[in-house]
């Protein structure tokens, strides 16, 4: 994956404006990007864009990244033509004054405006020490009257963001608006590209580009209801605070240290098996990772998905970014690359080799003798993770497990041919290389290498 490709994608995805519930521009860009990569695409009533990549098993892995960004809507227009703003999503009002905002007019036109602030010359010394409150700030779009504002196509409810151009910084880092969570959207587009290039994934991957996360995970909540995932990951952008003045225990993540795995945040306690499987996938992929320091702050769509229907095992993979929920975020391209690497391995191994043993939950019998447990989706996916059958103490293997094993054995029973590419993969694997490293070193598709190594490992375990 080359940097210029990723830069193009980030530029393309951070350009559109999409405040919560008004993600149309972002959705259109994503729709064009994923349309050739998915078996099925739909847009639901709340504006979620759902792309399905069918796999060998009906087990559904939901991967979610939100399209919306923190922003504003115009909340008042006065006689002189000044606008007031109401926030959509979590803003720090201290950082808003004097910025350039872009208001989106009814016909989609971008209208620039300046967030006005009182000049220091006329401020009381006492007032100059106080931060501005959002309700005291106003936007000057150059209009002389409310009528001129109306003529621009701006009305109560018009969306607005603080907007500056995408910038490439030194050191393979970028500064952009809306990296939270267009960087996650970019990661999932890149993942879908790899899955399309690497043949049928072992499980069905359902990607949800979610609406309205920043106002309480509204899109993901209804998307999860429709998708009924067996397992879910939110692919997010989270605060990196490795900056001057913040002691290490207060830095949720560090930029450049790889994807961050959530253990606990405000919205969820991540499923421990999912966290363990993600950590295993990271080492398999040969990428460094970090744990996001547990805290009662910050939530993600995983929190809403985990609590949908009868509950879904869920986790979060985050790309660290500095200064999120601010005019500019800063992101390290390596963290994005590594996040995609980790996700690809997770999908390729999921759930058979990715999840550890499920908690031994008793199957409760009702008086008529029927087991109170979830019906097998599609008649095949079998007991979802978290039921007694998946616990594995003498339980029969799930249908897709048997199928995959059968297939693997069939191929693996061919005699080894020394000197083939497969043989080279095995030798490199024995030298301690990860699947990803082997794929890179031999310039081979990841899925090909993974298939060879998986069968090799299975064979070694049998003997």
Identity of the residue, 213 or 230, whose beta carbon is nearer to Zn ion in the bound complex: 213
* Cβ at position 291, least distance to Zn ion in Å: 18
| Shortest distance, position 183 Cβ to Zn ion, whole Å | 9
Q: Interhelix angle for 3-14 vs 179-197, to 10°?
A: 130
Q: Is 213 labeled as catalytic in the residue annotation?
A: yes
> Which of 181/334 has CB closer to Zn ion?
181
SS (H, E, C) the chain: CCHHHHHHHHHHHHCCCCCCCCCHHHHHHHHHHHHHHCCEEEECCCCCEEEEECCCEEEEEEEEEECCCCEEEEEEECCCCEEEEEEECCCCHHHCCCCEEEEECCCCCEEEEEEECCCHHHCCCCHHHCCCCHHHCEEECCCCCHHHHHHCCCCCCCEEEECCCCEEECCCEEEECCHHHHHHHHHHHHHHHHHHHCCCCCEEEEEEEECCCCCCCHHHHHHHHHHCCCEEEEEEEEEECCCCCCCHHHCCECCCCCCEEECECCCCECCHHHHHHHHHHHHHHCCCCEEECCCCCCCCHHHHHHCCCCCCCEEEEEEEEECCCCCCEEEEHHHHHHHHHHHHHHHHHCCCCCCCCCCCCCCCECCCCCECCCCCHHHCCCCCCCCHHHHCCCCCCCHHHHHHHHHHHHHHCCCCCCCCHHHHHHHHHHCCCCHHHHHHHCCCCHHHHHHHHHHHHHHHHHC
User: According to the binding rule CB under 5 A, does residue 181 interact with Zn ion?
Assistant: yes
Phi, psi for 431 (deg, rounded to 5)? -80, 0
Nearest to 175 by CA among 19, 327, 65: 327
- What number of other Cβ atoms are within 10 A of residue 243's Cβ? 12
Measured from the CB atom, the residue of 122 and 296 that comes closer to Zn ion is 296
* Least distance to Zn ion, CB of residue 187, Å: 12
Question: Which residue number, 185 or 438, has a Cβ lying nearer to Zn ion?
Answer: 185
Stretch that binds Zn ion, among 181-189, 256-264, 372-380, 411-419 (CB under 5 A): 181-189
Binding segment for Zn ion (CB under 5 A), chosen from 18-26, 179-187, 220-228, 285-293, is 179-187
Task: Report the nearest approach of Zn ion to the CB of residue 93 (Å).
Answer: 19
- The residue (of 66 and 455) whose beta carbon lies closer to Zn ion is 66
64 binds Zn ion (CB under 5 A): no
Q: Of the two residues 237 and 422, which places its CB atom closer to Zn ion in the complex?
A: 237
Cβ 238 to Zn ion, closest distance in Å? Answer: 8
Binding mask 120-159 for Zn ion (x = CB under 5 A): ----------------------------------------
Choose the stretch contacting Zn ion; rule: CB under 5 A; options: 173-181, 222-230, 397-405, 441-449.
Answer: 173-181
By CB under 5 A, name the one of 180, 265, 271, 344 that touches Zn ion. 180
From 27-35, 172-180, 244-252, 374-382, span contacting Zn ion (CB under 5 A) = 172-180
The smaller minimum CB distance to Zn ion, of residues 180 and 230, is found at: 180
Shortest Å, Cβ 181 to Zn ion: 4
Q: How far is the CB of 2 from Zn ion (least distance, A)?
A: 26
Judged by beta carbon, residue 33 or residue 183, the one nearer Zn ion is 183
The tokens for 250 are 């207060």
Compute CA distances 416 → 206, 316, 429, 443, whole Å.
36, 40, 15, 21
Q: Is the peptide bond before 229 cis (omega within 30 degrees of 0)?
A: no
How near is the Cβ of 66 to Zn ion at its closest, in Å? 6
For position 69 contacting Zn ion by CB under 5 A, the verdict is no
**Active-site hit among 23, 193, 213, 284:** 213
Q: Which residues are catalytic?
A: 213
Which residues of the shown chain bind Zn ion in the complex (CB under 5 A)?
180-181
């Amino acid at each position: 994956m080359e940097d210029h490709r990723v830069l193009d994608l980030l530029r393309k995805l951070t350009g559109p404006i999409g405040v919560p519930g008004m993600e149309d521009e972002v959705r259109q860009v994503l729709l064009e990007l994923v349309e050739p990569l998915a078996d099925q695409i739909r847009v639901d009533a709340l504006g979620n864009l759902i792309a399905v990549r069918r796999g060998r098993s009906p087990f559904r892995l939901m991967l979610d990244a939100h399209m919306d960004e923190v922003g504003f809507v115009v909340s008042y227009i006065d006689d002189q033509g000044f606008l007031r703003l109401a926030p959509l999503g979590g803003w720090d009002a201290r950082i808003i004054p004097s910025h350039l905002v872009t208001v989106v007019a009814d016909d989609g036109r971008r209208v620039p405006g300046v967030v006005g602030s009182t000049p220091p010359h006329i401020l009381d010394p006492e007032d100059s020490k106080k931060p501005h409150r959002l309700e005291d700030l106003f936007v000057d779009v150059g209009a002389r009257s409310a009528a001129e504002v109306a003529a621009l196509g701006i009305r109560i409810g018009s969306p607005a963001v603080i907007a500056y151009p995408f910038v490439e910084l030194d050191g393979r880092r970028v500064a952009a608006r809306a990296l939270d969570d267009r960087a996650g959207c970019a990661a999932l587009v890149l993942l879908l590209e790899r899955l399309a290039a690497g043949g049928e994934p072992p499980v069905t991957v359902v990607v949800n580009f979610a609406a309205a996360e920043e106002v309480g995970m509204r899109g993901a909540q209804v998307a999860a209801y429709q998708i009924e995932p067996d397992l879910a990951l939110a692919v997010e952008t989270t605060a990196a605070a490795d900056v001057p003045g913040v002691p290490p225990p207060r830095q949720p993540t560090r930029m450049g240290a790889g994807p961050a795995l959530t253990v606990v945040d405000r919205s969820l306690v991540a499923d421990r098996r999912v966290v363990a499987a993600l950590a295993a996938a990271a080492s398999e992929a040969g990428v460094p990772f970090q744990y996001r320091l547990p805290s009662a702050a910050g939530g993600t769509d995983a929190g809403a998905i985990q609590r949908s229907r009868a509950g879904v095992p869920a986790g979060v993979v985050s790309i660290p970014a500095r200064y999120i929920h601010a005019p500019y975020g800063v992101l390290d391209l390596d963290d994005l690359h590594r996040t995609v690497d980790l996700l690809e391995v997770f999908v390729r191994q999921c759930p058979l080799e990715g999840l550890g043993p499920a908690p031994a939950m008793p199957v409760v019998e009702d008086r008529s003798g029927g087991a109170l447990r979830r019906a097998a989706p599609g008649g095949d996916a079998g007991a979802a993770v978290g039921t007694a059958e998946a616990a594995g103490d003498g339980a029969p293997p799930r249908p897709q497990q048997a199928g995959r094993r059968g297939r693997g054995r069939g191929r693996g029973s061919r005699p080894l041919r020394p000197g083939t590419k497969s043989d080279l993969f095995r030798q490199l694997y024995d030298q301690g290389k990860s699947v990803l490293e082997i794929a890179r070193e031999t310039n081979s598709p990841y899925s090909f290498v993974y298939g060879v190594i998986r069968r090799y490992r299975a064979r070694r375990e049998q003997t």
